[in-house]
Amino acid sequence: MASKTYHIVTFGCQMNKADSERMAGILEAMGYESRETPDEASLVLYNTCSIRDNAEQKVYSYLGRQAERKRQEPDLTLVVAGCVAQQEGATLLRRVPELDLV
């Protein structure tokens, strides 16, 4: 998977949506191209929010699918940002060792 492509999954509030737009701009400045789905991307970024109900469980559910993919495609980059990353960073890394960055 040599191409520099990304997909951002945004959970939660309006501020997270704005943060995701900023992160997309940074990735594009680095030469990445946006993709419509996570399965089309070489970098998948989950921008999380812990305010909404069951937010952490949703994150783990989504991550589980991409962690399985990463075991098949080691070049895939998995990133978690936002509130859940700040609050649960060490736990995320322990529960999902396929993560590249929290």
41 in Cβ contact with 7 (< 8 Å)? yes
Q: Is pLDDT at 53 greater than 70 in this prediction?
A: no
Q: Is the pTM of this model over 0.85?
A: yes
The alpha carbons of the chain give a radius of gyration, in whole angstroms, of 13
Task: Please count the helices (runs of H) and the strands (runs of E) in the chain.
Answer: 3, 4
- Alpha-carbon distances, residue 69 vs 55, 73, 77, 102 (angstroms): 22, 6, 10, 18
pLDDT digits (tens, 9 = 90+) for 34-46: 999 999 999 999 9
Residue pLDDT, tens place only, 60-88:
899 999 999 999 999 999 999 998 888 88
Contact 52, 18 (CB under 8 A): no
